[in-house]
Structures are given as C-alpha cells and as structure tokens.
Amino acid sequence: MAAMKIQSLLQLLFASVLIALVGSCATTSRSGPAALAGTWTNSLGTIWTMKGDGTFDVDRNHDGKRDIWGTYTVAGDTVTIQGTGGKTPKDCKGPGVYKFSRPNENTLTFTLVSDTCGDRKKNVLLAWHQK
C-alpha cells in the first residue's frame, strides 16, 4: 500500500516537472534582432522603431517622420547600433555598442559599452517603454 502511494506521488511529481519544462520552453526569450523589435519611447519623447530585420527608424521631433535611420545587430545581450541616414550628428558616424536588458515585456534598458556619439548616448541610456 505504501509503495503504491509513493509510486503515485512520483508519477505526479514527474508529470508536474514535465509540464513546467514544456511551459518554460514556450516562453523562452527572443534572440537576435527580434529581442529588441518593437516601437519604443523614452522620457524625451523620442520614438525608436526597431524592426525584426535589423533596421531602425528614429522620430526625434514627434512629427511621425523618421529623422534618423540605420541598422543594428544583436549578439547575446549586446547590441551594436549604426546610423546610416537622416539627421545624424557628425560625432555619430561610428557605431555605438550597448548591453541591453528587458526587465519586463514592455521595458528596455541599455548600459554603455562604447559610443563616441553624445546625442545617441543621451537618448539610448534612458529607459524605453513599448509604445
């Protein structure tokens, strides 16, 4: 009788662990450009649209038109941002490299690795919220 109870408890425990593992596989984090894809805004009102294909648009003056655009690549938790067009300041011709994290689904934060562009740093280092 005791052996049957132990066997039933072990089967229940095994089934619970299996369900938890399957559930965690379904909710794994996105990787590559998809980890950052979305339309984001910060406290300055900048709107940053990061597309799943590794390109982005920035609307700095809130007129619905892109002011700056470029590309980005993701490797693990590091993103390299490169402006390729628009009203890019002179010191922003090179790439900016940042670590990123997603504290929750609607928030995106960055930590500086390297960037010579003061204007980009001022914007990127603020918290971003999904629009």
pLDDT tens column, 44-79:
999 999 999 999 999 998 899 999 999 999 999 999
pLDDT score, position 61: 87
Q: Are residues 23 and 54 in the same domain?
A: no
Instruction: Count the helices and strands in the chain (H runs, E runs).
Output: 2, 8
pLDDT score, position 8: 47
Q: Are residues 43 and 97 in the same domain?
A: yes
Number of separate domains in the chain: 2
Mean pLDDT of 38-46: 96
Q: Are residues 48 and 13 in the same domain?
A: no
pLDDT at residue 28 is higher than 90 = no
The model's pTM is 0.75
Q: Are residues 88 and 115 in the same domain?
A: yes
Of 43, 41, 100, 50, the C-alpha closest to 70 is 50
Q: Are residues 54 and 116 in the same domain?
A: yes
pLDDT in tens, 106-116: 999 999 999 99
Q: Are residues 61 and 3 in the same domain?
A: no
Hey, what long-range contacts does 43-48 have (CB within 8 A, 24 or more apart)? Answer: 43/126, 43/127, 44/122, 44/123, 44/126, 46/123, 47/131, 48/123, 48/128
